[in-house]
Chain A
Amino acid sequence: MRRTNNIILETAIKVLLFFIVLYSVYIFTAGHYYPGGGFIGGLMTAGAIVLLLITYDIKTVEEFLPVNYRILTAIGLLFAIGTSAGSLLFDVPFLTHAFGDVQLPILGELSLHTATLFDLGVYFVVVGVTMTIIQTIGEDE
């Protein structure tokens, strides 16, 4: 197998990856008050993984990220359906969300909203779908 010496790229990725993932998580969590949300956050995380795929090969990336992206998509869908169908249990219209201030031990008082869980579902689906597309095309002979 042809192996070029990508030392600069590999070193740069070690720093960059951290920032990209952090920024995508920031954008995901800021979605309620600022531009951002599950879709763009998921795309950016997928972008980070694509950067890994460019630096290393598919097998190496699979080794340190052993994720089945189709299952990840399905899990994301389950999150989205679950949080919306939770309203069925309380006999309120579908997709009605609940929110409130919660007192947590370390983090203090937090304002939490079940729409975030829905957004987490979106996030997983976007990561799963993007990576499935890129991996299946990449593995194709």
Chain B
Amino acid sequence: MTNLIILPILIPLFTGVILIFLNNRIMAQRVVASISSIGTIIAAWLIVQKVRTDGIQSLNISSWDAPFGITLVSDMLSALLVLTTSIIAFVCLIYSFKSIGEEREKYYYYAVFYFLLVGVNGAFTTGDIFNLFVFFEVMLMSSYVLLVLGGTKIQLRESIKYLLVNVISSALFIIAVAYLYSVVGTLNMAHISARINEISVNGMPGILTVIAVLFLIVFGLKGAIFPLYFWMPGSYYAPPAPVLALFGALLTKVGVYSITRTYTLFFYHDMDTFGILSILAILSIVFGVIGAIAYWDIKNIIIYNIIVAVGVILYGISVLNTASITGAVYYLMHDMLIKAALFLLVGVVISITGTSNLRNISGLINRFPGLGWTFFIAALALAGIPPLSGFVGKLLIVQGGFEGESFLGAFITLMSSLLVLFSVMKIFINGFWGKDRTYVGEEKAPVKQLLIAPVILVVTSALYGIGSEFILPYITQAADTLIDPNIYINAVIKE
């Protein structure tokens, strides 16, 4: 079927529209949402298998040939990210059923939830730089609504900051695309890459380096790398748990994906820009870790861990050899799963205790052993303890770092694991051990139902780690495309 790769965009879009009609009938909304979420997962799985057997899939929308129309391209990296996104969306959805509350559900919560998915899946799948911008906006607009929905004071305040930062970065994105278009005269990513390759025979022209840095600033603002992450701790502190899990797992990773895509496809001629990327990635790791160990607030600790992970992934990309890229792709998917799981677990803890201040929480494991041990496993996976999912990715990134003789970066990546482990173990030791307390939400919180969602994610993540031998061929295929852009170009522009 020719249109297979558009299904993960089309199904959520259609669902979102249907859900607008059902805004007062909550049960109907939940049923429609669940069914279509499972449908999206199946479609994404089919795409992964299709790409595995037949190579990169591309779809020329509207039957216009490649450089002239919009092309959707599903290489292994996009296919895997779309699959991960669909799984996370399903899990956040079933968590929302129990936690989000009728007030939000009646005001188009699920519809906007699905529009967010349209944006994320579209951004992962598109092969056109301006279309990427459009899908970014679809994603961001939905995220504004999800952030502000409910209208509490903190949400209103943080939405303004979030909106302001993203409007500015979107304007910069447009300016960057305009510059690029004036230099290469095309918007199709494969075609841009081919054109840049033509004009870069004697090294990349200066203007393209400027554009590369501009793209780094734009996607760095979306993806929260070192000097540009300032908006994130505040904005991510505001929304309720399932929304926070979606944001933490998906939004920054779209920025990371875009940096990966543009740098490996467009700007690979100029290693200086990779040097800048490398320095910023290492600084992100350092500052993220400092934030993670400094706070005594469980939400903030996990939020700063996002910055660490973004740094680790981008460091892997910036080294640009087989091992490091494979590691970065592996780590990217692991981090999406585990961040969603951790935010949902934090949400469960907050719904029990009514606070996110670690000093007011202790002894949770006595009454909620399931929650405690799930959190423990998730924490170990985050830090990268061998049988779990964080290990292989980080190992490959460090290996790539040493092979690329970037010893400082590899060393910092290794050390960051220790401090990340310390920051999450601080939550475990102080929050779950110690003497029993009674909490406000203890009786009312539907802990068992809420736990289903994070347990699914932790089990997936554990299987992802244990079955790495099975998964590695897929990851390698994704990395091959990133290392050799010609595979991508030839798949899109068929001569």
List A residues at the B interface (Cβ < 8 Å).
70-71, 73-74, 77-78, 81, 85, 87-88, 91-97
Give the contacting residue for B2; candidates A70, A71, A85, A91; CB below 8 A. A91
B5-42, CB < 8 A from A: 6, 10, 13-14, 17, 20-21, 23
In the assembly, what is the distance between CA of A78 and CA of B6, in Å? 17
Query: What is the CB-to-nearest-CB distance from A39 to chain B, in angstroms, rounded to a whole number?
Result: 15
Give the contacting residue for B10; candidates A71, A73, A94; CB below 8 A. A94
User: Are A92 and B17 touching (Cβ within 8 A)?
Assistant: no
Q: List 18 A-B contacts (CB under 8 A).
A: A70-B20, A70-B23, A71-B21, A73-B20, A74-B17, A77-B20, A81-B10, A91-B1, A91-B2, A91-B3, A93-B3, A93-B62, A93-B63, A94-B3, A94-B10, A94-B59, A96-B63, A97-B62
Which chain A residue lies CB-closest to B1?
A91
For A81, the chain B residues whose CB sits under 8 A away are 10, 13-14, 17
Given contact pairs A81-B13, A85-B10, A93 touches B2 in the complex (Cβ within 8 A): yes
In the assembly, what is the distance between CA of A87 and CA of B14, in Å? 15
Q: Which secondary structure dominates where chain A touches chain B?
A: helix
User: Are A71 and B63 touching (Cβ within 8 A)?
Assistant: no
For B10, the chain A residues whose CB sits under 8 A away are 81, 85, 94
User: Are A71 and B61 touching (Cβ within 8 A)?
Assistant: no
In the assembly, what is the distance between CA of A101 and CA of B59, in Å? 28
User: Are A95 and B62 touching (Cβ within 8 A)?
Assistant: yes
Give 10 closest A-B pairs by Cβ, nearest first: A74-B20, A95-B62, A96-B63, A77-B17, A94-B6, A95-B61, A93-B63, A88-B3, A94-B3, A74-B17
Query: What is the CB-to-nearest-CB distance from A45 to chain B, in angstroms, rounded to a whole number?
Result: 21
For B20, the chain A residues whose CB sits under 8 A away are 70-71, 73-74, 77
For A96, the chain B residues whose CB sits under 8 A away are 62-63
In the assembly, what is the distance between CA of A85 and CA of B63, in Å? 13
New contact pairs (7) apart from A70-B23, A91-B3, A93-B63, CB-CB < 8 Å: A88-B3, A91-B2, A92-B2, A94-B10, A94-B59, A94-B62, A95-B62
For A95, the chain B residues whose CB sits under 8 A away are 61-62
In the assembly, what is the distance between CA of A99 and CA of B6, in Å? 23
Which chain B residue lies CB-closest to A76?
B17
For B62, the chain A residues whose CB sits under 8 A away are 93-97
Given contact pairs A77-B17, A81-B10, A85-B10, A93 touches B61 in the complex (Cβ within 8 A): yes
In the assembly, what is the distance between CA of A88 and CA of B1, in Å? 9
For B60, the chain A residues whose CB sits under 8 A away are 93
In the assembly, what is the distance between CA of A74 and CA of B14, in Å? 10
Query: What is the CB-to-nearest-CB distance from B309 to chain A, in angstroms, rounded to a whole number?
Result: 34
Query: What is the CB-to-nearest-CB distance from A13 to chain B, in angstroms, rounded to a whole number?
Result: 32
Query: What is the CB-to-nearest-CB distance from A102 to chain B, in angstroms, rounded to a whole number?
Result: 21
Which chain A residue lies CB-closest to B108?
A70
For B21, the chain A residues whose CB sits under 8 A away are 71, 74
In the assembly, what is the distance between CA of A138 and CA of B264, in Å? 50
Which chain A residue lies CB-closest to B10?
A85
Which chain A residue lies CB-closest to B23?
A70
In the assembly, what is the distance between CA of A92 and CA of B23, in Å? 33
In the assembly, what is the distance between CA of A45 and CA of B17, in Å? 23
Query: What is the CB-to-nearest-CB distance from B441 to chain A, in angstroms, rounded to a whole number?
Result: 34
In the assembly, what is the distance between CA of A93 and CA of B2, in Å? 6
Given contact pairs A91-B1, A93-B3, A78 touches B61 in the complex (Cβ within 8 A): no
Query: What is the CB-to-nearest-CB distance from B28 to chain A, in angstroms, rounded to a whole number?
Result: 15
For A92, the chain B residues whose CB sits under 8 A away are 2, 63
For A73, the chain B residues whose CB sits under 8 A away are 20
Query: What is the CB-to-nearest-CB distance from A75 to chain B, in angstroms, rounded to a whole number?
Result: 9
Which chain B residue lies CB-closest to A91?
B2
Which chain B residue lies CB-closest to A77?
B17
Query: What is the CB-to-nearest-CB distance from B415 to chain A, in angstroms, rounded to a whole number?
Result: 48
Query: What is the CB-to-nearest-CB distance from A128 to chain B, in angstroms, rounded to a whole number?
Result: 10
Query: What is the CB-to-nearest-CB distance from A56 to chain B, in angstroms, rounded to a whole number?
Result: 28
Per-residue CB contact flags for chain B residues 192-210 toward chain A (1 = under 8 Å, else 0) read 0000000000000000000
Per-residue CB contact flags for chain B residues 208-230 toward chain A (1 = under 8 Å, else 0) read 00000000000000000000000
Which chain B residue lies CB-closest to A74?
B20
For B3, the chain A residues whose CB sits under 8 A away are 87-88, 91, 93-94
B286-343, CB < 8 A from A: none
In the assembly, what is the distance between CA of A127 and CA of B13, in Å? 20
User: Are B61 and A94 touching (Cβ within 8 A)?
Assistant: yes
Query: What is the CB-to-nearest-CB distance from B381 to chain A, in angstroms, rounded to a whole number?
Result: 38
